[in-house]
Amino acid sequence: MIRKNVSYMVRLIVMVLVGWAFLAPAANADVDVAIASIHKIGIDPRFEGPMVQLIDQTASPRWTGFRQFYLSSTLGNGGLATMLTAFSLGENVFVRIAGTAEVGSLVTIIFVSAPAP
């Protein structure tokens, strides 16, 4: 009798944990880069949205050289205008990159950084 109750309890716990795994929201592991310089901006016809190549200029950079990302469609023309303005003025930007900042990830937030005094 005890084995039967334990078996039912184990099944119930497994079902609850599996259900929770499906219903729980995915972890948000976005990467913030406080100081990034823009190496290149453009349109790649193979992909939807503007492409930007960024160089991480922080004290402990997450990558060396430049990495290519794409502007999220939620940023729209304002995001592209912000990126182009920073590029034309030679200013650094703050960016939030979706996921782990792998090549091809989406830039979801962008701000032009204040010029150095």
Q: Is the pLDDT of residue 2 over 80?
A: no
Question: For residue range 27-70, what is the model confidence (pLDDT) as tens digits?
Answer: 557 999 999 999 999 988 887 789 999 999 999 899 999 999 99
Q: Is the pLDDT of residue 115 over 60?
A: yes
Query: What number of CA atoms fall less than 13 Å from residue 25's CA on the CB side?
Result: 3
Q: Is the pLDDT of residue 109 over 80?
A: yes
Closest residue by Cα to residue 99 from 33, 21, 9, 22: 33
Yes or no: say if 86 and 112 are a contact pair by the CB < 8 Å rule. yes
Show the domains of the chain with their CATH numbers.
31-112 (2.40.50)
Q: What is the pLDDT of residue 54?
A: 96
Query: What tokens were used for 4?
Result: 């039967």
